[in-house]
Chain A
Amino acid sequence: MSPMARTAPVPAATDPAIIRNFCIIAHIDHGKSTLADRMLQLTGAVEQRDMKAQYLDRMDIERERGITIKSQAVRLPWEVDGTAYALNMIDTPGHVDFTYEVSRSLAACEGAILLVDAAQGIEAQTLANLYLAIENNLTIIPVLNKIDLPAAQPEKYAAELASLIGGEPEDVLMVSGKTGVGVEALMDKIVRDLPAPTGDPNAPARAMIFDSVYDTYRGVVTYVRVVDGKLSPRERIQMMSTRASHELLEIGVSSPEPKPSKGLGVGEVGYLITGVKDVRQSKVGDTVTNLAKPAAESLGGYQDPKPMVFSGLYPLDGTDYPVLRDALAKFTLNDAALVYEPETSAALGFGFRVGFLGLLHLEITRERLEREYNLDLISTAPNVEYEVTLEDKRTLKVTNPSEYPVGKISEVREPMVSATILAPSEFIGAIMELCQQRRGILGGMDYLSEDRVEIRYRLPLAEIVFDFFDLLKSKTRGYGSLDWKADGDQVSDLVKVDILLQGEQVDAFSAITHRDKAYAYGVMMTGKLRELIPRQQFEVPIQAAIGSRIIARESIRAIRKDVLAKCYGGDITRKRKLLEKQKEGKKRMKMVGRVEVPQEAFIAALSSDESKDKAKK
């Protein structure tokens, strides 16, 4: 077994032959961060006294949710047979919303540790990322984690992994990130099994950006993997997609705290600081070259991030609008995938329509906005982007039901996804029922092992953005996992359902749904609102309509009594204070025509029952 390296290789002067670049592919909760912590300790990269659990997950939200949103790279020294190696561990986002970021992180590596919980087996997203890794020609080291758990079934899941990637079940390493068992052997195996990076040290510099993070003090910190040539401090670099050039103010490696170096050579992984303030100028997937001696071709694989899910974000208190505006502007500095534009809702006031990569991206962003800026936000039901063609052949993109055209529509196209669901085979029936309700078309089904199955469906994205994942979890008692990727679009029979309060349309409650589901939506929403809106001084009809056709109706009876019978022994003060309290309560109401709607009603009506349950926990 190898001790920690006595002398670590020096950055900028490291032979590619002693470099190993790897990432860890794992599902949430399968112990990736704990394993990473163990490696940091074992290699001496982090002193015992500085160690805090899940060192690499910088944001509180990441630590709380146990997921990594933003990846980083850490350089770890490790010695095998007397040779000191430099291992670069590139952390990858663990969620399906961030597939593109994952693919760029994978492209920076030669190998991947496939880390699977020995008590749970592989999950759909892990499988998806494994496909990506194999596509990128990465060498895979299969590892079962948490073997110390009583519920661990190492033989069963070792066989599952072996059948997925080839090889024998005995080749699967057994570790425990918690106790440290097997971690040293894993480090040795990384050195022995993973190929060293290759590249031309004399060619013009080419480095791939796999992450880009905004830091309040330093501006944008860009993480790169050098493929060819060398990057040095003070030289001018160029971003090949935008042709923008910057001076390299600082270059270095994370170990894991940033350490400036004399540069980065072939195969090395590190960070660049140019003083730019916006991550959009340093895009994930882009190629960095030397301005004076530029490469002819980029490394390829760059894509602009494409938002898939849209939601209106509104401050509960209208005076918070400038705070939300500034907060979103700051967020986009660090999140190239976030797009937004101002929007006005008759019911909710001033807010923003915000585009996200997926539902988790939406939830995390909203939660961070609320927490870091002390905002109370209403988010409208998530929408996808529809392409509406009118009879006059004009085509519109619609991300908000209120923009849905009123005129004659000849065709509506909606985005589709191909979804992969992994679950124990006993839940096949429940999963198929759910997918069929959501207008899914079965694409195929394979058994991963005797009792685990992979089911593939093509589904409208709109059908999975709201509560699909929650339902999948509940129908499979928590065992089901989901991965999806965009898969073109299709023409669908879609309609817009409006909700009217006392004849007045409430834009926040409008929805675009399949025609067959319009009635169910109308009944559900009118029923919900009848419960949520307090009685008024007059009767309030609540209707759901497609165009001018009413498809569902409810009504709220008028309140008949609103008076205190007496004042107590001349205590007029109490009565006046009560009036002030009542008027204070009224301020928290939004007026829809003459109807007073409490803000809580908007929140409750726009959230699924599952997410309400979550809020209670």
Chain B
Amino acid sequence: MPSALPLGLPAPSDGVLPEQAREGAAERNFGLYVHIPFCAVRCGYCDFNTYTATELGGGGSQDQYAGTVHQELTLAGQALDASGVPRRPLSTVFFGGGTPTLLPASDLAGILSEAVAQWGLVEGAEVTTEANPDSVTEESLQILAAAGFTRVSFGMQSAVPHVLKVLDRTHSPERVPQAVEWARRAGLKVSLDLIYGTPGESLEDWRHSLTTALSYGPDHISAYALIIEDGTKLAGRIRRGEVPPIDDDDHAEKYALADELLTAGGFQWYEVSNWARTPADECRHNLAYWRGDDWWGAGPGAHSHVGGVRWWNVKHPRAYAAALTPGTSPAAGREVLNDHDRYVEDVLLRVRLREGLAVERLEPAGRHAIAGLIADGLIEGADAIRGRLRLTGNGRLMADAVVRRLLPD
């Protein structure tokens, strides 16, 4: 079923959006994502858009990067104005990477203040940065908190040295509680990212990582199954038989263990891979993706979405910097979703949330599938009867299959 719209329509150089982007914008939250494409080392499993060289040339290099992002934020304001999208204060800001904290804290603070100058912040806005436990100090976290950051998400991944080694993570496990402690003192909320299903990781290793993460007292935990992406160093090692391949049954078992231990530790799932201590601790920026809100993604390879228009920037930092001459958009391509695409995305994304999907939103073919999904133990029967489609524990593990059954055509 080829989509009516080909992937990658050319994006206009002024970044102006088609009319549909502004419809209903006032009712939708607006967020900002800033991509920081630098890492100290590339991890063996990672296929994200990130670079280890400090000198990429021109505005793509680390020391000039904050200024380059500033140019895109200026363009974003102009383009949204020109598109007739009303200016809305930012509900969430998220710095991801890469390793945002490889940039000096003052650079991150500078980018944030430029964004705030452009759009403002809503009361109680969530401002997060991802961080490597190695790349923060008590002082840098203090600077971030003072600049308006409210939350830090540490890439802990595992508490087991041999697992961290396969992942090429450089931090020592003891570094994590230290970083959490500093963040707490700075008044930041803390999230820990974990990865399960690494080759060679036993169920006991995973249990140890979970209980260790819980013992640090975070507000939020993300647990992602390791995905072996083509072209990564880890994919090569598996192909050559140097490390064992990953196994879906193993992933399923570890997911179930995570849900069990995290629930017992006082956390509740709110998205397939995310657990929070209280509803107030849920990552609102993450929720915005699944709820179809608007956000501008700044930085090389960053994705944006405004009112059913999705676009993405050129990937390489140097090409990105070069594209950003004043008044010119660094977008590489975009797509304008039609009604069917938007329906598909709505189902696809909302099904992953604990709040689920309103049954009435489904087309008849989708509603037809509900009884079978209840019978197979993939969605909660009582909730469905009350009009809410919500995944069971097994259903979360089978979410993609559930989506295919809800969207049979």
> Which residues of A come within 8 Å of B, CB atoms?
537-538, 559-573, 575-577, 579-580, 582-584, 586
Contact of B345 among A559, A566, A572, A582 (CB under 8 A): A572
Number of residues of chain B lying within 8 A (CB) of chain A: 46
- Asked whether A579 lies within 8 Å of B348 as measured between CB atoms, the reply is yes
Tell whether A565 pairs with B273 under 8 Å between CB atoms, given A537-B398, A584-B1, A586-B404. yes
- Asked whether B252 lies within 8 Å of A561 as measured between CB atoms, the reply is yes
**Residues of chain A with a CB closer than 8 A to B404's CB:** 579, 582-583, 586
Distance (Å) between the CB of B201 and the closest chain A CB? 15
- Asked whether A569 lies within 8 Å of B397 as measured between CB atoms, the reply is no
28 contacts between A and B (CB under 8 A): A559-B248, A559-B401, A560-B252, A561-B225, A561-B249, A561-B252, A562-B399, A562-B401, A563-B272, A563-B397, A563-B399, A564-B227, A565-B227, A566-B224, A569-B33, A569-B35, A570-B33, A570-B305, A572-B305, A573-B7, A573-B310, A576-B341, A577-B7, A579-B404, A579-B407, A583-B407, A584-B1, A586-B404
Distance (Å) between the CB of A551 and the closest chain B CB? 30
Chain A: CB-nearest residue to B227? A565
**Residues of chain B with a CB closer than 8 A to A570's CB:** 33, 289, 295, 297, 302-305
**Residues of chain B with a CB closer than 8 A to A571's CB:** 303, 312
Distance (Å) between the CB of A538 and the closest chain B CB? 7
- Asked whether B1 lies within 8 Å of A580 as measured between CB atoms, the reply is yes
Contact of B297 among A564, A569, A576, A583 (CB under 8 A): A569
> Which residues of B come within 8 Å of A, CB atoms?
1, 3, 7, 33, 35, 48, 96, 224-225, 227, 248-249, 251-253, 255, 272-273, 289, 295, 297, 301-305, 310, 312, 335, 341, 344-345, 348-349, 376, 378, 394, 396-401, 403-404, 407
Since A562-B401, A583-B404 are in contact, a sample of 11 more A-B pairs with Cβ atoms closer than 8 Å, ordered by chain A residue number, is A559-B248, A559-B398, A561-B251, A562-B398, A565-B273, A567-B289, A568-B48, A570-B302, A572-B310, A573-B303, A576-B344
Complexed CA–CA distance, A176 and B105 (Å) = 88
Tell whether A562 pairs with B35 under 8 Å between CB atoms, given A570-B305, A571-B312. no
Q: Which 6 A-B pairs have the closest CB atoms?
A: A560-B252, A563-B399, A565-B224, A561-B252, A562-B401, A570-B303
**Residues of chain B with a CB closer than 8 A to A538's CB:** 376
- Asked whether B303 lies within 8 Å of A569 as measured between CB atoms, the reply is yes
Distance (Å) between the CB of A466 and the closest chain B CB? 36
Complexed CA–CA distance, A573 and B337 (Å) = 10
Complexed CA–CA distance, A156 and B337 (Å) = 80
**Residues of chain B with a CB closer than 8 A to A569's CB:** 33, 35, 48, 96, 297, 301-303
**Residues of chain A with a CB closer than 8 A to B396's CB:** 563
**Residues of chain B with a CB closer than 8 A to A582's CB:** 400, 404
**Residues of chain A with a CB closer than 8 A to B310's CB:** 572-573
- Asked whether A576 lies within 8 Å of B272 as measured between CB atoms, the reply is no
**Residues of chain B with a CB closer than 8 A to A565's CB:** 224-225, 227, 272-273
Chain A: CB-nearest residue to B344? A576
- Asked whether B248 lies within 8 Å of A580 as measured between CB atoms, the reply is no
Complexed CA–CA distance, A13 and B224 (Å) = 92
- Asked whether A560 lies within 8 Å of B33 as measured between CB atoms, the reply is no
- Asked whether B33 lies within 8 Å of A561 as measured between CB atoms, the reply is no
Complexed CA–CA distance, A575 and B305 (Å) = 14
Tell whether A561 pairs with B255 under 8 Å between CB atoms, given A537-B401, A569-B33. yes
Complexed CA–CA distance, A571 and B289 (Å) = 9
- Asked whether B376 lies within 8 Å of A537 as measured between CB atoms, the reply is yes
- Asked whether B348 lies within 8 Å of A566 as measured between CB atoms, the reply is no
Distance (Å) between the CB of A507 and the closest chain B CB? 25
Complexed CA–CA distance, A407 and B401 (Å) = 42
Chain B: CB-nearest residue to A585? B404
Contact of B349 among A537, A562, A572, A586 (CB under 8 A): A572
**Residues of chain A with a CB closer than 8 A to B272's CB:** 563, 565
